[in-house]
């Protein structure tokens, strides 16, 4: 005796539904497991295996995913986390900016706490910026714009970074953020996060920027804020 056609259809439909539910749960569980397995960056400069990494010192804490070809660039600090490409110019950095250098042509540049970091970049006499555009990274709103060294800066030279560059910011470990002539920087600024203005930036020679940006953007798109 064979089952009736309607019964077969109902059984097959139920089996398909159960299969879809199991697959959905497995997919969700795998994604959650990936977040839970985020590993800290090595303390020394080292090639990174593809996977998910989390900050240990940087605030706000976050995690991100990298593919092949990335190297960490220690040390990580409460206001700095950087990775770079292994065999090509270019890097991605996270910064919690509290102090920026006031442009000056004489002596060491003065340091000011930025009240409007986006405006500071826009009005900097030796930097040229594109129009800021709104972006969102894992639910947090910010603005994105590109930065290059202005042509009029060729006779300026940063007091700290040397010639053909512009001093930008000072970090807690007394290291500096700066931008060199011929390079292009893409910045995302989040000004409403706790502790000051947080930025995500990636930079490389301007001639290679479009190719590098596609790799760097994958890192940015994978960011998950673990606390703000």
Q: Over the stretch 91-137, which tens digit does the pLDDT of each residue have?
A: 999 999 999 998 876 656 788 888 899 999 999 999 999 999 999 99
SS3 of 54, please?
Answer: strand
pLDDT per position as a tens digit, 23-63: 232 333 334 444 457 999 999 999 999 999 999 999 999 99
Q: In whole angstroms, how far apart are CA 160 and each of 52, 156, 167, 178?
A: 35, 12, 7, 9
Average pLDDT over residues 162-177: 89
d(C-alpha 137, C-alpha 135), whole Å: 7
The encoded tokens of residue 152 equal 């009029």
The encoded tokens of residue 53 equal 């990494």
d(C-alpha 126, C-alpha 158), whole Å: 10
pLDDT for the residue numbered 160: 81
| Claim: this prediction has a pTM higher than 0.75 | yes
SS3 of 228, please?
Answer: coil
């Amino acid at each position: 005796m064979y089952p009736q056609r309607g019964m077969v259809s109902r059984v097959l439909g139920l089996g398909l539904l159960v299969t879809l539910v199991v697959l959905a749960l497995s997919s969700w569980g795998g994604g959650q497991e990936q977040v839970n397995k985020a590993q800290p960056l090595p303390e020394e400069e080292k090639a990174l295996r593809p996977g998910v990494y989390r900050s240990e010192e940087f605030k706000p804490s976050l995690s991100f995913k990298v593919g092949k070809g990335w190297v960490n660039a220690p040390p990580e600090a409460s206001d700095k986390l950087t990775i770079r490409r292994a065999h090509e110019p270019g890097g991605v950095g996270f910064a919690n900016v509290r102090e920026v250098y006031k442009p000056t042509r004489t002596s060491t540049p003065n340091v000011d706490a930025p009240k409007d970091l986006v405006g500071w970049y826009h009005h900097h006499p030796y930097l040229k910026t594109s129009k800021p555009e709104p972006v969102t990274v894992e639910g947090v709103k910010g603005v994105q714009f590109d930065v290059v060294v202005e042509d009029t800066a060729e006779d300026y030279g940063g007091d700290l970074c040397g010639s053909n560059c512009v001093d930008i910011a000072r970090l807690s470990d007394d290291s500096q953020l700066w931008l060199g002539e011929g390079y292009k920087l893409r910045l995302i600024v989040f000004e409403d996060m706790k502790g000051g203005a947080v930025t995500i930036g990636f930079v490389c020679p301007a001639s290679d920027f479009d190719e590098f940006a596609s790799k760097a953007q994958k890192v940015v798109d994978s960011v998950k804020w673990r606390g703000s």
